[in-house]
Structure 1
Amino acid sequence: MEALAHPRQTERLELLHSFEILDTDREADFDDIAQLASQICGTSISVVNLIDADRQWFKAEVGLGLRETPLSTSICAHVILQDDFVEIPDTLNDPRMKDNPLCQANPGLRFYAGALLKSDDGLPLGTLCVLDHEPRTLTPLQRDTLRVLARQVVAQLEMRKALKGNKLLRQEIDHRVKNSLQSLSSLVGIQQRTAVSDETISALGTIHSRIQAVAQLHEQLYRTDGGPIINLKTYVEQLIQHFAVMAPSRVRLILEAEDCMIPSAQAVAVGTLVNEFVANSFKHAFPDERGGKVFIQITRGSAPNTVRFTCRDTGVGLPPEAEAVQGGLGMLIAQVISAELQSDLQVDTLPSGLSVSLEFAIAASDA
């Protein structure tokens, strides 16, 4: 006997599909629940079963060896029309099941107990059920445990859905922030080109670098859903690609980096330093059509959970009479970034170029 459609079938199916769980790979969280249900109830079969329009699909199963079966032979399709919990001690004594080929087979499915997987508004998605080849009954403790485990399945589904919603919201926010920062960056660039005072031009250039660093960060967050933690190597690669377009033809940009996951706030600080150093190298390190290279290096630090970051060029270096730590606004910004990262700034200026490096501890994420 084939089950009737649920009275709220359209709503039910819309809700089921909104979880985007059908036809996904097996996952330990659901497999563990099915395994525990089978062990506690002492049955050879246990299934996390979702009832689709024309099939029942198993997110997890023990003892069955299938991922789906037609709805025409589904016991659970009948159960979702009933109360929260259904137990059938002998399926051949139930008028809904006695002509079911799965129950009539040898050995057939003779025992069934299922707890509904039910949404907050009462719509059934499927069941967590246990089955066996011999008639039997569950104890009160086994029934209660099956109900609790069914609620855990629904909690897992709801959590997955909520996380996906948060991901999409975060991506939209990052996208909008990135676009807004790019617009602001363009305005600052216009102001910088029309400014007269060298001090104003330098200050606007610094602001422009900071905005670009944050904009590139949000670009990465939007593309990768990195959340509060991002790969510093990938982030700096994007910054390098941005600068490569503006690099003098005689100057090469080279990134030597290891994968390193750090909080986005620290990444912005590093990105600002990259922007400032590269821009100043392009402007001052290679006069008179001189060629050269600008290196950005990211490695593990000398202590656990630290990062060593170095910017180096093969240009003319700072003038001999200049104190390294007072080499203009760029060095002042480097000092500020160093303080922000709670690290010591190391500056080396030689005839063969300028090197700025620092080592910082990876901060704990707030997330």
Structure 2
Amino acid sequence: MSLRAEAHPEQAERLKTLYRYQILDTPREEEFDEIVALTAQICDAPISVINIIDAERQWFKAEVGLGTRETPIDTSICAHIILDEDFVEIEDTLNDPRLADNPLCLAETGGLRFYAGARLVAPNGMPLGTLCVLDNQPRQLNDLQRSAIRVLARQVMKQFELRLALRDQEVLRGEIDHRVKNSLQTVSSIVRLYLRSVEDETARDALTAVQRRIDAIGALHEQLQGSSSGQQIDIKRFLERVVGLLQETAPDNVRIHAEAVHAAMDSDTASALGMIVSEFVANSLKHGFSDAQGGNVTIELKEQGGEMILACSDDGLGSKAHRPKLGKIGSLGTNIMNAAASRLNGNFAQELDENGSRLFLTFPLAD
């Protein structure tokens, strides 16, 4: 009699289903460790396992009483069980013809003489493995213990489903961010082409403002696409990307510098900061420097005392520059900065003197 269980009649589909969950070889997780510990306690069993049946091995997502993460498929008890009913209880393994010659059961000391387990079944009906308990002596469970194993096995499967859904959502979100970013880049290129042929200064200012805001939003989606934490992004990388785009439009004699702390922020916060930085830099480039006099624009974001502080400054003409009365475009830029600061519940201030212009924004860290 062969020790090894027969392959599942739909083994190819079963393995395809299993691999989609990406469970195998993942680290131990507290949620699953708690389930096997509780199962062992309820069943008064020395061993409890969340057992995943691969092609050539059984791998344990969580276990108590074994001290290993995998064993060969040849001696696997659960490889037999996944071919059976959703719940199986074997009072004495040596009386079961499938296990009577299994060395794990025949061992003189520590032999596995009792088994009870519930299958972990995917929505398409494919069994992935089991939640089981084992003992070194023949025995029986009571109805409460049997019910507990069934219920907890369903909870294990729900955890697998939740992780799969979150991963699928992450992939979908990344694809959306990728497409939005590419669409915005296309629109930005079209605006740039129009700018080459527009001579009216007001129209040029409007198109430049539109392009600047499109680029900032595109940079945000670029960072969201590369993030691995949902809608959280590294604000340092995002601001550096925004500044890089602004530098492309700056005169050769003006350099834009960015220094930001590494911090995970949600997309709304990042968007507000990106808009403020974009509008400040645009205003500095337009009014702070002449063709003959270049200089620097500096963007700094730091954390201090539980708050974030954004400081933007330039060493341009400042109050010495001739500043025409704000038109609709300039007023819109100011309104955008004020609105963005309000979204962050921040304290916002601007200064202008003979040494240049400055902007300060203090806002609380998100909980």
Equivalent residue, structure 2, for 1:68? 70
Picking from 198, 203, 206, the partner of 1:203 is 206
Aligned-residue offset at 1:199: 1.6
The alpha carbon displacement at 1:181 in A equals 0.3
CA positional deviation for 1:301: 6.6
Residue pair 1:335, 1:345 contacting (<8 A) in 2 also: no
After superposition, where does 1:1-367 map in structure 2 within 5 Å?
Answer: 1-105=3-107, 106-300=109-303, 306-319=307-320, 329-330=329-330, 332-342=332-342, 343-361=346-364
How many Å apart are 1:238 and its aligned residue?
1.4
| Whole-angstrom CA distance in 1 between matches of 2:147 and 2:57 | 28
Distance of 1:149 and 1:170 partners within structure 2: 31
Shift of 1:28: 1.3
Number of equivalences: 361
Q: CA deviation at 1:168?
A: 0.8
The more displaced of 270-279 and 224-233 is: 224-233
Residues 292/226 of structure 1: CA separation in 2 closer, same or farther (3 Å cut): farther
Letter in 1 for 2:315: T
Distance 1:178 1:284 in 2: 30
2: CA distance, partners of 1:319 / 1:157: 65
What TM-score does the superposition give when structure 2 sets the normalisation length? 0.91
Q: Distance in 2 between matches of 1:320 and 1:251?
A: 16
TM-score, normalising length: structure 1? 0.91
In structure 2, distance between residues paired with 1:242 and 1:336: 19
Gaps of 5+ in 1: none
Distance in 2 (CA, whole Å) between partners of 1:252 and 1:96 is 76
Q: Is the contact between residue 115 and residue 150 of structure 1 (CA under 8 Å) also seen in structure 2?
A: yes
Offset from partner CA, 1:210-231 (integer Å, 9 cap, x none): 1011000000011114533333
Distance 1:19 1:78 in 2: 22
The letter for the 2-side match of 1:333 is G
Shift of 1:97: 1.0
**1:252 counterpart SS class:** strand
CA contact (8 A) 2:36 2:62 kept: yes
* Per-residue deviation, 1:344: 4.9
In 2, Cα distance between equivalents of 1:96 and 1:262: 56
Greater alpha carbon shift after TM alignment, 256-265 vs 178-187: 256-265
Tell me, yes or no, if the aligned pair for 2:279 and 2:337 is still in contact at 8 Å. no
SS in 1 for 2:318: coil
Identity %: 48
Structure 2 alignment gaps of length 5 or more: none
Deviations, residues 107-155 of structure 1 (Å, cap 9, x unaligned)? 2011111110011232111000111111111111111111111011111
Cα deviation, residue 246, structure 1: 4.7
Q: Over residues 149-197 of structure 1, what are the superposed CA-to-partner deviations in whole Å (9 max), with x where a residue is unaligned?
A: 1011111111111111111111111000000001111111222232232
CA distance in 2, matches of 1:3, 1:336: 68
Q: How far apart, CA to CA, are the structure 2 residues paired with 1:247 and 1:173?
A: 30
Tell me which amino acid in the other structure corresponds to 1:116.
Answer: R
Superposed CA deviations along residues 258-288 of structure 1, whole A, max 9, x for unmatched, are: 2343331332232122222223333432324
Give the letter aligned to residue 229 of structure 1.
Q
Q: Distance in 2 between matches of 1:363 and 1:328?
A: 33
